[in-house]
Structure 1
Amino acid sequence: MVVGWLEEERQPPKAAPEASGQPFSGITLPTPKLGKGLEKNNRYLTLISTYAPTLVASDAEKDSFYEALNTAVRAVPHADKLAILGDFNARVGNSHHLWQRVMGVHGVGKCNDNGLRLLSFCAEHDLVITNTLFQLRTMHKTTWMHPRSKRWHMLDYVLVRQLDRKDVKITRVMRGAQGWTDHRMVRTRLEIHIKKHARKNAHAGKLNTRALEDSGKREELQTALASRLTHALEDLTADTELLTTAWEAVASTLNTTARQVLGTTTKRNRDWFDEQREDIHTLLREQHSAHAAVLRSPSPANRARLAEVRSQAQREIRKMKNEWWTRLATEIQGYADKGNQQQFYCALKAAYGPRRGSVLSVTGDITDEVQRRIGLASSSFGRLASRVFLNKDLTIKTKVAVYKAICLSILLYASEAWTPYRRHIRMLEQFHTRCLQRILGLKWWHKVPHAEIRRRADIEPLETLLLQRQLRWAGHVIRMPGNRLPRHMLYGELTKGKRTVGGQHKRFKDNLKANLKKCGIPPQGLETSAADRNRWRQECAAGAARFTASFNQQYEERRRRRHLPTSNTSTSSNHICEECGRTCKSRIGLTSHQRTHAVNRT
């Protein structure tokens, strides 16, 4: 049994390597032995203690913290146990249906921006928040009280791998513990279970039922079964006591024959090495022959030959790997562009096996759906990180192609019908930028602007990609016959009902009209332009290009204004109350202040 203690002292712990100034420290402990007579245990438990930036910290500070934490987590071997403890200054909420494998059903409160970052990090690395797994009273889960609202929140967490979820027996707040901190102490109890390493070929594997699609294989299986079952049933009698034995013989014959004829499945996911095994083996045989020649006679000629063959093999293997991933990305992107959902998800599942589905809200709010999309895209990015995005043998062009075909397709699934607000666009853009930074190998201290990141990756802003999808879908619906349901939904209006007082919720029509104006397309000519498919496609492409240019120009202008020297003159001199002479910092502040005088007069 291992007991882990967490105490926040509000003092920055030791900084991680290559992350100067980041509160971060870790320790590695050996796990218990497997027991007498069992194999030697070489696995460890790594404990990482963290202190994350607060909610008001800049995005650069948050990015640098999670970059350092991401590097530390990836350095831990996958077979080892991992526990991350600390004050993450994040509220993850209680949306278990959006983050089913990341958090339990016993969360507290609502999710904020820092909480979304933490949840995305956990989804990428297959971690689970143990604080939300156990049904406890709220006072035994919350760790910090807000000084003004006096409400308690959960900010301190213990994270473990999802595979080690069963090792966590309890994560609970200790209310009576005293310490020089305004946070409560969190206690986690672990019972570590170490499994023996499974031997290779320990399981026979599943039958390759896909081979039955071949008529030749089917005939071969039928012939073999007819012959063998005839011999197996010759000695069968009507004695009921022998029926069990007879059935076991028949079942064994069926299983053995099917395995011999059909074979077993070797691997669930597609892999570049398996599909080009013969070509790679040819290169490796040449390299092995040259190495054997050096061992027999280490002459300068043989050594030069070995170096030449080895370099050629490395170049060819890198080329094969790039071409294979490029072909796969092109295939998946082609299915997505054509709207062939069946083939798209078959190819996507063959690549790594994603999860799909949408979250519908009664009010039409897409906040939950955006969070779920970010979670699934983070999981897909994490599963492909070591194979693709962090693979130094692949080019940036190949990595971006795979990212667009897989991660962005999952992120923007069913986004054609979204009605996003600015907060949703900001959440998606932040995820998009973080992924591109990881693909390009950029760190926080490089200080590369977002526009330059997109230029290096040769990719558009995510708002442009979302806008293109929605305009393309709108044109498709307009060209539908009048009896189709999507067209009825686009053109239909409610005959009954009453709108509430105040600001109204944004409708899909409002969002479509705003997108047309952003692209410079007159809304009045929408139906005329969309009626011609080729013309509409050209107008959408030209409008997306204009929007991207305007987007980058506005971004550069905002960045230029941020770097201008601040003026010494006060900007609030014009916002002075005429009745009491109070100076306000903004016009809206002055308006709110003047309302107090109006209330006092009445």
Structure 2
Amino acid sequence: MGQGRNRDYLIKTASGSVLWRNQKFLRPIPEPGVARDGMKESPTGTTVSGFKYLGSILTEDGRLYIEIETKVQKANTVSYLLAPLLKHPNIPIETKAKLINSIFIPTLIYQCQTWTLTKSLARKITTCEMRCLRRAVNKTRREMIRKTTIREMVGTAPVLHYIQKQTLRWFGHLTRMAPHQLVSKAHNKKISGYKARGRPRKTWIEGVKETLKTHNIPPIQAVNLARDRKIFLPSTPKTVQEDG
């Protein structure tokens, strides 16, 4: 059992699955054979609130808080292990940039092509990114150097730009996918039923449209480019929406 300021969790790997317990986002996991707190017993086993599959954490409510938190923790661990190299004054900054691009960033944004990022989640990812980059140039937040300047010193693009590129890449796959395939059916399916009160949650395709709007690509043109395998973003982003 691990304790945190805003969470407590339980990882159970006896059967090869990972079960999560979180006070804020998930329901508590009951003892084996006991159904309580919304957990359901079925003839084939216990219905859990979340599980890990191929590096992604799937939750009952479909939110990304747990997955992003896990990715950030793993990326911080990688950054800590790379700290002796990133802080070494005799290692060229080009070599440090290659280490960051080949080890740190893939750990942070693994399976990011299906993410639907809110402002708070994007800020959390950017904070983790800048912590590693400041370590590479031996700068601290107290020096009040802008993020764009830090990235220019290291020679890397914003991590949110990597996420946008992967998202559009998956959008291209989804556009070219046959209608009878399961992923295409799930994407095009219309959900009917009662809608809860409040503002609707941001969907994945809305995030894709925001990315296209940022780069001045009309949605119809994006579909045609995706079918021809010609949709891509420039290596150097024009603008990336972030704080600071």
TM-score category, normalised to shorter length? 0.7 to 0.9
Among 541, 546, 550, the alignment partner of 2:238 is: 546
| Partner-residue secondary structure (3-state), 2:59 | coil
User: 1:507 matched to which residue of 2?
Assistant: 203
Identity of aligned residues (%): 22
Matched, 1:424 2:121: yes
Q: Shift of the alpha carbon at 1:431?
A: 0.7
Q: Shift of the alpha carbon at 1:526?
A: 2.3
- Mapped to 2, the partners of 1:481 and 1:525 lie a distance apart of 20
Matched, 1:519 2:238: no
**In the superposition, relative to structure 1, how do residues 508 and 445 fare at CA in structure 2: closer, same or farther (>3 Å)?**
closer
User: 2:158 matched to which residue of 1?
Assistant: 461
Q: Shift of the alpha carbon at 1:531?
A: 1.0
Q: TM-score, normalised by structure 1?
A: 0.32
Q: Which amino acid aligns with 1:401?
A: K
- Mapped to 1, the partners of 2:106 and 2:150 lie a distance apart of 20
- Mapped to 1, the partners of 2:64 and 2:141 lie a distance apart of 31
- Write the mapping of 1:3-14 to structure 2, written as runs, cut at 5 A: none
CA deviation map 1:469-496 (0-9, x unaligned): 11111112212233332222222223x3
User: Alpha carbon RMSD of aligned pairs, Å?
Assistant: 2.7
Q: Which amino acid aligns with 1:546?
A: K
Is residue 464–residue 547 contact of structure 1 (8 Å, CA) maintained in 2? no
User: 2:55 matched to which residue of 1?
Assistant: 357
User: 2:71 matched to which residue of 1?
Assistant: 373
**In the superposition, relative to structure 1, how do residues 443 and 521 fare at CA in structure 2: closer, same or farther (>3 Å)?**
same
User: 2:7 matched to which residue of 1?
Assistant: 93
Is residue 83–residue 135 contact of structure 2 (8 Å, CA) maintained in 1? no
| Partner-residue secondary structure (3-state), 1:536 | coil
Is residue 133–residue 154 contact of structure 2 (8 Å, CA) maintained in 1? yes
Give the stretch that moved more between structures: 444-453 or 362-371. 444-453
- Mapped to 2, the partners of 1:432 and 1:97 lie a distance apart of 26
CA deviation map 1:451-482 (0-9, x unaligned): 11011112222222211111111112212233
Matched, 1:536 2:228: no
- Write the mapping of 1:63-462 to structure 2, written as runs, cut at 5 A: 91-97=5-11, 357-386=55-84, 388-462=85-159
Q: Which amino acid aligns with 2:231?
A: W
What stretches of structure 2 of length at least 5 have no aligned partner?
Answer: 13-20, 26-53
**In the superposition, relative to structure 1, how do residues 96 and 374 fare at CA in structure 2: closer, same or farther (>3 Å)?**
farther
Q: Shift of the alpha carbon at 1:97?
A: 4.2
Q: TM-score, normalised by structure 2?
A: 0.75
Is residue 168–residue 208 contact of structure 2 (8 Å, CA) maintained in 1? yes
Q: Which amino acid aligns with 1:511?
A: G
- Mapped to 1, the partners of 2:126 and 2:11 lie a distance apart of 23
Q: Shift of the alpha carbon at 1:520?
A: 1.4
Higher RCO (CA 8 Å, separation ≥ 6 residues): 2
Higher helix share: 1
Q: Which amino acid aligns with 1:505?
A: R
User: 2:30 matched to which residue of 1?
Assistant: none
- Mapped to 2, the partners of 1:365 and 1:109 lie a distance apart of 14
What stretches of structure 1 of length at least 5 have no aligned partner?
Answer: 1-89, 99-106, 112-355, 556-602
User: 1:490 matched to which residue of 2?
Assistant: 187
**In the superposition, relative to structure 1, how do residues 420 and 532 fare at CA in structure 2: closer, same or farther (>3 Å)?**
same
Instruction: Tell me the matched-pair count.
Output: 206
Q: Shift of the alpha carbon at 1:418?
A: 0.8
- Mapped to 2, the partners of 1:525 and 1:493 lie a distance apart of 24
- Mapped to 2, the partners of 1:445 and 1:366 lie a distance apart of 31
- Mapped to 2, the partners of 1:108 and 1:361 lie a distance apart of 11
- Mapped to 2, the partners of 1:109 and 1:357 lie a distance apart of 22
- Mapped to 2, the partners of 1:378 and 1:416 lie a distance apart of 21
